[in-house]
A and B are shown apart, each in its own frame.
Chain A
Amino acid sequence: MSISANDIAYIANLARLQLSEAEQEEAAKNFENILALIDQMQNADTDQLEPLSHAIETSQPLRDDIVTETNQRDTLQKIAPKCEQGLYLVPKVIE
């Protein structure tokens, strides 16, 4: 499967990454090699198989509906790059 620099730019945007042109070309080349590795699985007959999303197939446990978390806003925001009055700051979104 051939992957172009444009394909890489499209994927990078979905992943919210920004690549230089040189990085895009390098990534396109590596992507093709990796996809060739991955595509080896396409020949295997898996029609009768259910996908396995988890090795240990158990149901998720339920817990009682009680509050267990305490308010740790100050602790957690202490490590944020930019905060003001208990809010995380980002560039202006609405004009």
Chain B
Amino acid sequence: MFKSGIAEISRSLAAGEYSSEEITAAYLTRIREKDSALNSYITICEEMAMDQARTADTSRAQGDVHPLNGVPIAHKDIFCTSGIKTSCGSKMLDNFISPYNATVVENFNQAGLVTLGKTNMDEFAMGSSNETSYYGTVHNPWNKELVPGGSSGGSAAAVAAHLCPAATATDTGGSIRQPAAFCGLTGLKPTYGRVSRWGMIAFASSLDQAGVLTRSAEDAALLLNLMAGHDDKDSTSINIATEDYTANLNQPLAGLKIGIPVEHFAEGLDADLEQKIRNAINEYEKLGATVKDISLPNSHLSVSAYYVIAPAEASANLSRYDGVRYGYRCKDPVDLADLYKRSRSEGFGTEVKRRIMMGTYALSAGYYDAYYIKAQKIRRLIKNDFDAAFKEVDVIMGPTSPHTAFKIGAQTNDPVTMYLEDIYTIAVNLAGLPGISIPAGIVNKLPVGLQIIGRNFSESQLLNIAHQYQQVTDWHTMTPEI
């Protein structure tokens, strides 16, 4: 039963094939047996999960419940969970127990979903390989010598290894889509502001967005129905109506106009992977779509602009970790400066310190215009590129990542090599657009991800496009043996 996705579990629970208590216990047993080889969970919520499962079963016996009542899932350890440790992958928050739930978590709890645990991640979501976590590297279930991608690597590995049917995740520069590609999953990053960021620990506030890692587009749609919407507690959450994201899944794709950005098929792209992506696009032509080459001429500048904007925002956001109100505090500080400096230096890992310093530098007197303002102008250029493209096409397709999952330790020497991992995904965050990565083939026994980028608030369309592909292909059903 643990091989099922969200939709299937929901149907089985409704049909009384098993109870929430039974499936929750089955997942917890599997996590205990299998996760030591993967390290995908930071915290396993055994007691709470079983309580939630029993409550869900009682509610179901008493009458009307949400269709996802009793379905177990996992949360990335960036979402605050009341009474359960929320570490954000950092020593800084190793002792942090949030007094409240993130809005996303609260919405899931209200619907009766069960929280199996909190998944591993790059420290403060800064990384593309899940190697910067204070809790250790996560292993890719397809090949344990490889990374699962990052920063939502724990969520991806857990879903891929059937240690949960789906998991929440966040995406600042590709942190949902790239792990989805590396682990053979569907990964949806909604439009900036579509999902509340309240209680989601901040990295780069103008880029961060919550989404999901699932086994199918249908599952992603079911979960987005619970997550999307305005939240008074997050003034950047957009106040426009949500929709039933499952409603359009079965729409035919005849007449869909797909744009292929030449820049995403240029030097650096693995040739075998490119072939799989082109095959997937051919499949869409068979489904009635038309394909045309387009250009995103400034996309080569996106990584540069991102590594100014994201660290700048991070340096401001992470200034809150001061050893005073919560989180790590150094031993025996001699004065206030010592308290700040040692708490932060001992509490943060290398990559987080590097980004805080990059951001501090970019915002410091004399450099602000040259770096921060310049990067924001580049951000405008990149958004203009997408605006122009979407006058000609409905969606943009290409590879999610230039290659399949790489070896643990292979890219940790030079931060720049790691930063270039997100070369196809980062521009999407800078422009605020929704994007989804879906499995589109296997190269050397490793999954390949197809990225589909849409206009603002086109989640329903993206899920429809992904779902139609998943009706005629079976890449999304392939799973590693563990």
Contact = CB atoms under 8 A, between A and B. Distances in A.
Interface of A: 8, 11-12, 14-19, 27, 30-31, 33-34, 36-42, 44, 46, 49-56, 58, 60-61, 63, 72, 75-76, 78-82, 88, 90-93
Given A90-B336, A91-B335, A46 B374 contact: yes
B111 interface: no
Q: Is the interface of A mostly helix, strand, loop or mixed?
A: loop
Interface stretch (B25-33, B216-224, B349-357): B349-357
Contacts of A18: 341-342, 344-345
A30 B342 CA distance: 22
Contact of A88 (B319, B325, B344, B348): B325
B307 A51 contact: no
B377 interface: yes
B63 interface: no
Main secondary structure of the interface of B (DSSP, over half): helix
B416 interface: yes
A76 B324 CA distance: 12
B377 A51 contact: yes
B232 interface: yes
Contacts, number: 160
Given A37-B304, A40-B304, A19 B206 contact: no
B430 A16 contact: no
Given A15-B360, A55-B192, A60-B235, A40 B334 contact: no
A81 B301 contact: no
Given A12-B357, A55-B206, 14 more contacts: A16-B337, A17-B357, A33-B416, A34-B354, A34-B419, A39-B304, A44-B381, A46-B374, A52-B376, A55-B379, A58-B238, A76-B99, A88-B325, A91-B333
B377 A34 contact: no
Interface string B216-249: 0000000000000000100110110000000000
23 contacts: A8-B357, A11-B361, A15-B357, A17-B341, A33-B416, A37-B416, A38-B304, A38-B307, A38-B308, A39-B304, A42-B370, A44-B301, A46-B374, A52-B376, A56-B432, A60-B235, A72-B99, A76-B99, A79-B97, A79-B99, A81-B328, A81-B329, A91-B339
Interface residues on B, range: 35 or more
Interface in B369-395: 370-371, 373-381, 383
Interface of B: 96-97, 99, 191-193, 206, 232, 235-236, 238-239, 298, 300-301, 303-305, 307-308, 315, 319, 322-329, 333-342, 344-345, 348, 353-354, 356-358, 360-361, 364, 370-371, 373-381, 383, 414-416, 419-420, 429-433, 456
B344 A17 contact: yes
A40 B303 CA distance: 10
Contact of B380 (A11, A15, A49, A72): A49
A53 B414 contact: no
A44 B324 contact: no
B336 A91 contact: yes
A88 B324 CA distance: 7
Nearest to B98: A79
A88 to B, nearest CB: 5
Q: Which 9 A-B pairs have the closest CB atoms?
A: A55-B432, A51-B376, A46-B377, A81-B329, A52-B380, A18-B341, A15-B360, A41-B304, A16-B340
A80 B353 contact: no
B110 to A, nearest CB: 20
A82 B414 CA distance: 39
A12 B350 CA distance: 13
B365 to A, nearest CB: 10
A38 B303 CA distance: 8
A36 B304 CA distance: 9
A81 B334 CA distance: 16
Contacts of B315: 15
A82 B95 CA distance: 13
Contacts of A8: 357
